[in-house]
Amino acid sequence: MDAKEFRQKNAAELHDELLKLRREQFNMRMAMATGQAVKPHQIGNVRKAVARLKTVQAEQSRAANQGTK
């Protein structure tokens, strides 16, 4: 998912998506530790998706705080 798609979601949906991505990241890490085949580029893609999502969450948080001041 790219940032444009994340920006269209509300805070609850973003939180759910973050949990899903973190779970996927954990599962990949465990698969690598047990010697199962994991495509290395997928690990980077998930990590970048988490970073994009957290960036959008921070943007929304700042926008909400600006609106209250």
pLDDT tens digit string along 4-45? Answer: 999 999 999 999 999 999 999 999 999 999 999 889 999 999
Q: Which domains does the chain carry?
A: 3-68 (1.10.287.310)
Q: How far apart are CA 68 and CA 60, in angstroms?
A: 13
Q: How far apart are CA 48 and CA 65, in angstroms?
A: 26
Q: How far apart are CA 50 and CA 21, in angstroms?
A: 7
- Neighbouring C-alpha atoms within 13 Å toward the C-beta of 13: 8
Q: What is the pLDDT, as a whole number, of residue 25?
A: 96
Q: How far apart are CA 60 and CA 17, in angstroms?
A: 15
Q: What is the pLDDT, as a whole number, of residue 69?
A: 65
